[in-house]
Structure 1
Amino acid sequence: MSTSIFVNLPTTDLERSKAFYEALGFTINPMFTDENAACVVLADNIYFMVLTREYLGTFTDKQIVDPKTQAQTSIAFTRDSRDEVDEVLAKGLAAGGTEPREAQDLGFMYSRDLEDPDGNILGFLYMEPAAAQMGPDAYLAEQAGATPSTTA
């Protein structure tokens, strides 16, 4: 049995949220979408359930936070290159998202944050494959010790 992941996100405007996530390249599963919720397909077993705040409130007795002013979670997605990180951010910004802080370049990893129109935080990052295998400290140490090759 494989595990699927469903991340529930609050929205104040379901149609706007659907358009935003479609602009990022994701699809909406109409079989699990109605006036209260939209099922955003991120990958084969990974989904966002974008729910109206009122509907999300039926799943918990806790207060639903306002993602415009409070952070409950930040969800990060890998991309295959820095350019792909920049491309998805451009799509998200054009679709009504905002970039709450500057890009982070740590040498082994490049990341940018994108907030959807409701303020839910999405991170997009590229990590050097060698850093993913070696770990960031070993990768950076190797990079610092590397010397440029010269040819005679």
Structure 2
Amino acid sequence: MRMVFINLPVRDVKRSTEFFRELGFEFNDEFASESTAAMVVAENVSVMFLAEEHFKSFINGEIADATSVKEVLTCLTAESREEIDEMVARAIAAGGKAWKPATEHGPMYGGSFQDLDGHVWELAYMPQA
């Protein structure tokens, strides 16, 4: 089975970890250090939060300032509209920022927020037929 690792630069790994724990995410401590945290999204999908200096060792060029430009939109599915509204509210209460208003596209429903470093997280509910 193929695995997916999404790597994001963060200013403070500990604060980012605490923020996403507040949203109900778990972390794989096997990949934890002062400069790295591994948030488990699904069995084969993780988001790696890398301290900016550590992240720089993997790239050419500069790190995008996610508070002013967007380098990626990360979208996660949700089990219900209520789950989306609750997670967005928890994200804002934990120090994140509102991104765009909730949207409806037929039976689909979406919400979003920015994390502590300005990365955008979208949430989507898509009822199965």
Bucket of the pairwise TM-score, normalised by the shorter protein: over 0.9
The residue type paired with residue 34 of structure 2 is E
Letter in 2 for 1:30: D
Q: Alignment identity in percent?
A: 35
Distance in 2 (alpha carbons) for counterparts of 1:91 and 1:13: 19
**What amino acid maps onto 2:35 in structure 1?**
N
Q: Tell me what 1:10 maps to.
A: 9
Q: TM-score, normalised by structure 2?
A: 0.94
The 2-side partners of 1:89 and 1:69 are apart by: 20
The structure in which a higher percent of residues are strand is 2
Deviations 1:5-54 (A, max 9, x none): 10001111111100011111111212211111111111111101001111
Structure showing greater relative contact order (alpha-carbon pairs closer than 8 Å, 6 or more residues apart): 2
Poorly superposed stretches of 4+, deviation over 6 Å: none
Q: SS in structure 2 opposite 1:129?
A: coil
Aligned-CA RMSD value:
1.1
Structure 2: tracts of 5 or more residues without a match: none
Question: Which residues of structure 1 form unaligned runs of 5+?
Answer: 131-152
Q: 1:1-152, aligned counterparts within 5 Å?
A: 2-130=1-129
Q: Deviations over 1:73-122 (max 9, x none)?
A: 00101111111111111221111111122111122211011110100111
Counterpart-to-counterpart distance in 2, 1:46 and 1:24: 17
TM-score normalised by the chain length of structure 1? 0.81
- Structure with more helix by fraction: 1
User: Greater CA radius of gyration, 1 or 2?
Assistant: 1
Count of matched residue positions in the alignment of Structure 1 and Structure 2: 129
